[in-house]
Structure 1
Amino acid sequence: MAQYQTLLYYCYSPIEHAEQFAENHLAFCKSLNLVGRIIVADEGLNGTVSGTPESCKTYMEHLHADERFQKTEFKIDEVEEPSFIKMHCRYKPEIVHSGLRDPKIINPNIQTGKHLEPQEFLEMKDQEDVIILDVRSNYEHNVGRFKNAVTLDIENFREFPEKIKDLEQYKGKKILTYCTGGIKCEKASALLLKEGFEDVYQLHGGIIKYGKEAGGEDFEGECYVFDNRVSVPVNAVNPSIVSTCKNCGKTTAKMINCANPVCNEHFTQCDDCGWELDGCCSVDCKSNPRKREYDGTGYYVKIPQPVNEDKISKRKHKKLVKN
């Protein structure tokens, strides 16, 4: 039995005094010895936390006891070791960076695509009038995606709005959106509806829930996750690997960051090339004097930066003036 759990969740629910909430919530998570990454915004929460089953249970009960987060759905993974090294809980303008911050224009609590449970998505995805749309970034869908999915050439989800014009050919069809855990689809599907797409759906709980409840059927490759694991298998029905090593072209699901911090490219690399290039994407990066030590994982802990109290104070002042 695994000694730890990793929880993936989000909740669109307005939070008053969200910056103070983030500070208090960080202290609470640390009191439970949890590690992870949580984003707090005025619009809600987006988090992945990891710890013992007891700590995770207490954390989930704590959130569900709060009226604002009663409907939060947790995706639970059993893991051999915590999926993070430290605990971060930060206030940001959005819980997923989209550039769509005005709730009068896009508000997942008012309008999104129709939610499909994993089994419903499985039964619907191969219909003739259906388009499966991956709303994630390149590095995510390169390591794994649904069979026959339409993917977008984007480096970050904030580029999604400008790519909608490339989807005009699919108007009139059923659009099934999906992402890792569902959070990006909330805004992506809402924006598609706003732009005139009439029949829009989203995979409830994302790829992770689909793997747990529908066996991950026809998801090719692995699912990128935002923690130490980097990617996880989800398909227990007809698994495959679709990503290839950047350096030699061999099939591999392993994704790393270049050991040269100046480059820091996120890419797939097989173990053989990893050791040969010492965790770098190229010979040039391998010779960089700032190159980090490669331990075979290609995962590097970010060095925490000092808190900019002046910046926080200015932001709080702007909010007070606005209100």
Structure 2
Amino acid sequence: MRAIPLTPSQWRSRLEATNKSDDASTGNPNMSILLDMRNGYEWDVGHFHGAQRPNVDCFRSTSFGLSQLEVNGSDLLACVDEEKTDIFMYCTGGIRCDIYSTILRQRGFKNLYTLKGGVSHYLENEGPAEWVGNLFVFDSRLSLPPSAYKPEIMTEANCTQELSENSSLARCYICGSELSELRHRNCANLDCNLLFLCCTGCVKDFRGCCCLRCTYASRRRPVLPPGGHQRYKKWHYYRDLDLHSI
């Protein structure tokens, strides 16, 4: 049995109530946990206020609620009451939550809720409420601001707040500096191809690579210009090029 799907308006109401309760330090009679079931690079550019995710690179490595009897510090569900804790899960389109909620149900968790239609459906209906940053998308655009989903409710004040939150949300993968441009790039090393966020300075210093080691790779592609709006072509385009001389 899967989790109970909540409509965008129901989801927003539950999050607002939880966050207000946390701000007032009144606590909840039933503990609640908000889980982000997406990949790390999706989380990097945006997520719901108060959300948590495992310290893993991708969804396939997620292990929430799967720890054995011993305490696992990386498992947020290791020590919670399976019958009294409300667990809210979300992902981009809702499919990953459907899969994982079934696993958690089998592990004994009773109060499971998912965001119906995922984050994209939520932004289309509720706008940026309780959301910070952009939404990662699986095409050449890589990320979109909430205003792209519901532009009619985006006032000048909202846009200013959005930019302010973005600058404190994302960090350069290499140097850790704050970023206002929430758009990934692929490592120039063809054999690495890591998707990462990077500041303009590190793009130049590391020649479009994610680390010093990749700058010495034999199959290194040309450096894409800063800003992240251009993408590398398919790998076979570079196959016959003399990449080592670039």
Same fold flag (TM > 0.5): yes
Aligned counterpart, 1:105: none
Distance 1:162 1:218 in 2: 23
Q: Write the deviation string for residues 24-64 of structure 1: whole angstroms up to 9, x where unpaired.
A: xxxxxxxxxxxxxxxxxxxxxxxxxxxxxxxxxxxxxxxxx
The 5 Å alignment of 1:82-101 reads: none
Aligned counterpart, 1:168: 78
Aligned counterpart, 1:207: 119
- Asked if the contact 2:5–2:116 (Cα under 8 Å) also holds between the matched residues in 1, the reply is yes
The 5 Å alignment of 1:1-323 reads: 111-125=1-15, 126-127=17-18, 128=28, 129-161=31-63, 164-165=66-67, 166=75, 167-170=77-80, 171=82, 172-234=84-146, 237=158, 238-239=161-162, 240-241=165-166, 242-252=169-179, 253-296=182-225, 297=228, 299-303=231-235
Distance 1:276 1:140, change over 3 A: same
Distance 1:249 1:156, change over 3 A: closer
Distance 1:247 1:153 in 2: 18
Distance 1:205 1:112 in 2: 14
Distance 2:47 2:66 in 1: 19
Distance 2:113 2:64 in 1: 20
Root-mean-square deviation (Å): 2.3
- Asked if the contact 2:65–2:104 (Cα under 8 Å) also holds between the matched residues in 1, the reply is no
Q: Shift of the alpha carbon at 1:130?
A: 2.3
Distance 1:198 1:162, change over 3 A: closer
Q: Write the deviation string for residues 271-318 of structure 1: whole angstroms up to 9, x where unpaired.
A: 3322343311134323333111223336323336xxxxxxxxxxxxxx
Q: TM-score, normalised by structure 2?
A: 0.71
Distance 1:215 1:160, change over 3 A: same
Distance 1:161 1:287 in 2: 35
Count of paired positions: 195
Return the letter of the residue paired with 1:219: W
Q: When you count strand as a share of all residues, which structure comes out higher?
A: 1
Q: Secondary structure at the match of 2:9?
A: helix
**Percent identical residues:** 31
Structure with more contact order per residue of length (Cα contacts < 8 Å, sep ≥ 6): 2
- Asked if the contact 1:117–1:203 (Cα under 8 Å) also holds between the matched residues in 2, the reply is yes
Unaligned runs of 5+ in 1: 1-110, 305-323
Unaligned runs of 5+ in 2: 19-27, 68-74, 148-153, 237-246
Q: Shift of the alpha carbon at 1:178?
A: 0.2
